Each structure stands twice: as C-alpha cells, then as structure tokens.
Amino acid sequence: MKFKYLKAITLVFCFPFALIAQEEVQLLIIGGGASGVSAGIQASRMGVETMILEESPWLGGMLTAAGVSAIDGNHRMPSGIWGEFRQKLYAHYGGPEAVETGWVSNTLFEPSIGNRFLQDWVKGQPSLTVLHHVTWKDVKFEDGKWKVYYLQDNKERAVYAKMLIDATELGDVMAALDFEYFVGMDNQERFEEYYAPEEANDIVQDLTYVVTLKDFGIGNDMTIPRPEGYDPTIFACACDHADPTLFDDPTNDCQKMLNYGKLPNGKYMINWPNCGNDIYMNIIELSPLERLEVLKEAKLHSLRFVYYIQHELGFKHLGIADDEYPTEDRLPFIPYHRESRRTLTESMLTLPHVLDPFRQSEPLFRTGIAVGDYTIDHHHKMNPEAPEIDFIKIRVPSYNVPLGSLIPKGSTHFIVAEKNIGVSNIVNGASRLQPVVLGIGQAAGALAATAILEGKDLHRISVRSVQQNLLNSNAYIMPFIDVKPDHKHFQAIQRIGATGIIKGFGVPFKWANQTWFYPEREVSEFELAEGLRPYYASLSNYWSASGEMLTINFLMELLKEIDPKISMEDLGKAWLDAGFESDLFQSNHRLNRLQAAVILDQILNPFAIPVNLQGLPVH
C-alpha cells in the first residue's frame, strides 16, 4: 500500500540561487532524535564530515525531548552508543542502583540530564555539526549529490551532501521523496504474519504527551487549574494494574502506578497506558501546522490526567517539573510517537524472521546491525476500532535488525532510521524502543560512513564492512546476552554467530527476551559441518559428520576438506594465539562453542565471505 505525502510538508523554493547561503558536508542527517544523534556520533567517529538538522533546542528525541526517560529493554545488551550513554548515566547518578528508581525499567533518568550528555557528546566530535531551531523545506538529488534547503533564523539556506539520513520522528523526508511506505496495521498476507488482522488498515498505536512531575514536598499544593473537558471517569481505572506476562489479577495501588516511571531526584515520568495519558490520533499524513493544532488535544488529555492525579488521588504535592523542559507550558517539545511510516526497504524485518530467524529462506539475521530484546508491545487501548491482537501471546526471542531494513527499495544514497525503517506493523511493537532506535541510528551512521569512505553507493557496499565497523564500536550485531563487549573474544563470537555457522538459542522471557550463545557448551560434529556447508562448496557432498561431540581431530578433518593446505601446526598456532590453555590442545579434546568459534574465525575467517542484503553468501 502506497501513501502519497501531503505537499504541505514540502515547500519548493523559488529564490534566486545566489541569494541562498550554501555549504557542503559528506553526510547530512535530518532529525536529532535518538537515531539521528547516534548516527551523527558514529559517522563523525569514522572521520566523516557530518551535519544534523534539528528543529528543537534539544537532542535525543523520544529519549529526552519527548520525556520517555525510562529505558525499555536491552539491559543485558549494552550495545555501542546505548551502552556508552548508560555509562554516562551511571557515572552521573552513582551507579546502576541509582537509576533503578522505577519498576518499569532498569535505567531511568531526568530528561534534561540526558539532553545535556548528548549535547556535550556531540560537541566533542570534531567532524560533527549540529544546527538547532532548523526546519528542512525541500530535498533534491542532483548530479550525484543531495541538496537540502532549510530555514534558520528566518533565512533560507542550502547544504549539499553525498549521503542523506532521514531520522525524523515520522519519516517525513522519506515520504517527500516518494519512496513507498506503509501506515497502520498490515494484513496477514502482506508479510505472512498469522497474528495480523485479515484486513489492513491505517490504525497506528496510541501516542502520549508525556509529563514529568516533581515532588515539591508534602504541604505544597501544586494542583493545576481544572483543564477544559475534564472527566474523572476516563481515568477511573488508572490505579488498577497487572503485568500481562504474569496473568495476575490487577491490584489497586495508586502509588505503584506513579512509581512505574519514578525518576531520580523525586520526579515521575507520567507515561501511563492504563486509563492514563495515552491517546489515539493518527497525525502522520498531516502537515506540520496541522499536527501542532491536533496535538493540543493530546497535551490537554495529559493535563487532565495530571489534574486527576492531583485532585482525585490526592497527590497535590506533585507538580509539573519546573526544571526540565524550557517550554512555556513545561511539557516536552514533542509527543511520544510509538509508530511512524514504515518504509518498503531492501529487506523487511517481519514476524517470521523474529520468531524463527534461523529457518527462513532469507537468513536476514546474518546481516544484523542492531539488537533488541523487548517483547512485542502495542498500545491500542484508546481506539475501539483497532482489531484485537493478543500481543502477549506472540512470544518471541531477542532479535537483530537487518541492514537492508535501513535502505529504501531502490535507494542508492538515502538511508532511513528512527522508527521509519522496514519493519512490519507487528514487529514495530518491539523495534520502536529506545536502545534499538539508538542502535539503528548508529548503524545508519556506520552504513553512510562506510559508503562515503569507500566511494560506493548503498547497493555496492559490503554488509560485512558495515558490521565490522559496528563491532569496532562495541556494538552488537547478534543478540547474545552471555558474551559482553568486554569479553576477549566478543568480536569473534559475534562474527561467527552472524555467519550462522554456530547458532544461538532463542528464549522468549517476560519483557526481556533472550538469545544465548552458551560459550561453554560443547558442539557436535554434525552441527558444525551443517553450519559450514553453505559457505564451502567442498562440503556439499560431505556426510561424515556424526552427532559425536567435536574434537580437535575432527575439526582438523573438516578444515582439510575446506582447504587441504591447513595443517595441525596452523591449528595449534591459532589455539595459542587465542589464549587457550596449551595442555588442552590434544587430538581427543572436545571443543566448546567458544573455542570452535574463535578457531574458525582465525583460520577460515568465514565472516569475510560476502553476503547480500538477504543474508545469502555471494561466492
């Protein structure tokens, strides 16, 4: 289904060329949200001259400017820039326990603190420029370069760039360029998703205008004026709560409802789905001015909920924080959009690839560039027209996002990030979370920088080059929770995992799904031979691998089938170079999965065999 973007968003300029101030960078990113800022940091670290255009005075998007400062997921996968950001929070607040203030998350923080960290971070990048209070107006691709017009201080300006990333909240740039995209729920047929409704529709998830409350102390009445249209019955079940993954009966506990998003320093993130401040409105295809007008009701709905908390529930001492957002109403700069346009990309991440990644005809997991572990979570309580989908029953393991989902179909110099990547509507319920979007942004920056530095368009770039650049930045390309970036063999295990030669084990688990590598487990002869077969033609007719556990002797036999020139001396040298105990190097020693992965990585380097965007080896 293709939607045409309203022309109200793209304004074509008729100014004389000479009157418009112009500049040139290698990479331009439109949007300084979670993905935009991480893309900029990654690309600039790789030495690429990068510019970010951002409308608001803040960086971080949903992390900060939308106030969603309780991190969902990836607690055990501190991947890349997400892991670095979390370390900054630990250092500021005093360690992991100091940010475990609310029960919805392991990491909660004040939005203004997150913005400050991101602002300081980008200032430390010599190849990165950020322009705030900027509105993009028109985008053109001419003579192999992007030309982007933008408005700053009421002056029209233009910037040229080799590569362009759309990191806007709703995929506005992608739509203006007339790429194909989807909005709302897919039908079952579109992506072969059994859990999808029979008919597609344009219903998106509820959005939320988050409010940050602050404890001003018992005895202080911070109650706001009664908002227009206030109806307390709308919020009557706000204190009833149960974790749907545990199938418990709801408990009536208003303090627990508030503690859901309790932040450090006596503040509370009000982002409550159950008879709270979620609201349904689909503003995606509206113009910017129309969006602002419609969002007044979203703000008003949140203020009604605040009044309910203060007036009906008796928390009068909790007032809207006066030291967070420098806005007239003290509300965040933007709402929390749980859903955007979803681009038709070179590879689409759909439910079958998340549920059972190793059994798909297109093994997209081999092209992973970001990881996530949050369960599929959709907010549709405020729209009675939304078809019923029991998302809790869609039990998925952790997953990775394929590189091709960042490249619109047919694109050569344009990348999508944020929530507008190529995912199905159902999968968006998991991929929309903050650490995943930070990872998507980092990958978008690595993809753009790799293409620029190698002088290639997006269809000639090496998947493995992009992945290796991410690994060099301590980012995960496979969602293994039991081998962290500080492990000596982290990269080797990630690389072998991404080939699929030794696969992980996926486990659906509450709100933090898992994939285990199990480095200490033994591996069978057959498992290893089957994993190697797609990459080495010499193994196509090899059937001498049994279910016996892999030994050094049998590994040597397999290696010789692949390359007769490999000797036991080569194997012994790789063993010692890996730091394994020398006295274990005996012909009958049974290798564990870590040892097998590291030896294969050193001797064969199968990660160097190219794969295409569908994950198929290119021989």
Question: Minimal CA–CA distance to 273: which of 425, 385, 378, 379?
Answer: 379
CATH number of 17-199+339-357+374-379+404-460: 3.50.50.60
Average pLDDT for residues 557-564, to the nearest whole number? 97
Q: Which amino acid is it at 317?
A: H
Beta strands in 71-144 (DSSP E): 128-131, 134-142
Instruction: Find tokens 């990165």 and name the residue.
Output: 128
Given a contact cutoff of 8 angstroms between Cβ atoms, the answer to whether 317 and 219 are in contact is: yes
Structure tokens belonging to residue 346: 């070179």
| Paired tokens of 178 | 């007339």
Close Cβ partners of 124 (under 8 Å, ≥ 6 residues apart)? none
Mean per-residue pLDDT, 349-371: 97
List the structure tokens of 131: 């322009």
At 46, the pLDDT band (50, 70, 90 cuts) reads very high
Render pLDDT for 195-236 as a digit per residue (tens, 0 to 9): 999 999 999 999 999 999 999 999 999 999 999 999 999 999
Q: List Cβ neighbours of 415 (8 Å cut-off, separation of 6 or more).
A: 163, 164, 165, 166, 406, 407, 444, 447, 448, 458
Please answer whether residues 541 and 511 qualify as being in contact, where contact means their C-beta atoms are separated by less than 8 angstroms: no
Strand 399-402 to 414-416 pairing: unpaired
Please write the tens of the pLDDT for every residue from 131-146: 999 999 999 999 999 9
What is the per-residue pLDDT for 165? 99
Instruction: Please tell me the distance from the alpha carbon of residue 101 to that of residue 291, in angstroms, as a whole number.
Output: 34
Asked if residues 422 and 16 have their Cβ atoms less than 8 Å apart, the reply is no
Domain extents in the chain: 17-199+339-357+374-379+404-460, 207-320, 490-608
Spatial CA neighbour of 57 closest among 151, 138, 130, 149: 130
Residue 162, exposed/middle/buried by CB under 10 A (0-12, 13-18, 19+)? Answer: buried
pLDDT tens sequence across 81-118: 999 999 999 999 999 999 999 999 999 999 999 999 99
Strand order in 145-152's β-sheet?
21-24, 155-161, 145-152, 134-142
Cβ 71 vs Cβ 108: under 8 Å: yes
User: CA gyration radius for the chain?
Assistant: 25
Mean pLDDT of the 280-300 span: 98
Q: pTM here?
A: 0.95
